[in-house]
Amino acid sequence: MRRSRRRCAGFTLVEMVVAAILLFVGGVAAMMCISSSLRITGVAEAHAKSAILAERRLAELETQPDLVTAGDQQGDFGDEYPGFQWTQTVEPTDIADVSRVTLTITWPNGLRTGSATFVTMLRTADTQ
């Protein structure tokens, strides 16, 4: 009787402690993965938004050549995209009527500032 009773007694205390530790370690690892993926998703979203805003600003420059003046300019995207700002540098090139435009988009990223830089060449003369 005694032997069959011991076999059916269930889990030992050591087994329960080991199982609890494994569950705790697994839970902490899962929470760290979720936190990391949320942070990375936020960064990716900010970069995608900056690419769209850069495309928008460069389209403005293409359609309004009078905005393409040599030197540095800066501005923001208004209330629609709070915190996002642009800095534009226009430099002449060796090619006539073509300027090099460097556009940097910045945004707040927690305690730091995120940024993305886009460079393109724009024709500044009328093609008519």
User: Computed from CA positions of residues 103, 93, 69, 57, in that sequence, does the dihedral angle turn out positive or negative?
Assistant: negative
d(CA 76, CA 84): 6
Residues 6+ apart with CB under 8 A from 24: none
pLDDT tens sequence across 62-95: 888 777 888 899 999 989 999 999 999 999 999 8
pLDDT in tens, the chain (128 residues): 555 555 666 788 899 999 999 999 999 999 999 999 998 998 899 999 999 999 999 999 888 877 788 889 999 998 999 999 999 999 999 988 899 999 999 999 878 899 999 999 998 765 44
- The pLDDT of residue 5: 54
- The pLDDT of residue 7: 60
Mean pLDDT of the chain, nearest integer: 88
Residue 8 CA: distances (Å) to CA of 3, 11, 31: 9, 9, 36
Q: Where are the domains of the chain?
A: 2-123
Class of domain 2-123: alpha beta
Task: Determine what percent of the chain is predicted with pLDDT higher than 90.
Answer: 59
- The pLDDT of residue 127: 47
- What is the CB neighbour count within 10 angstroms for residue 51? 13
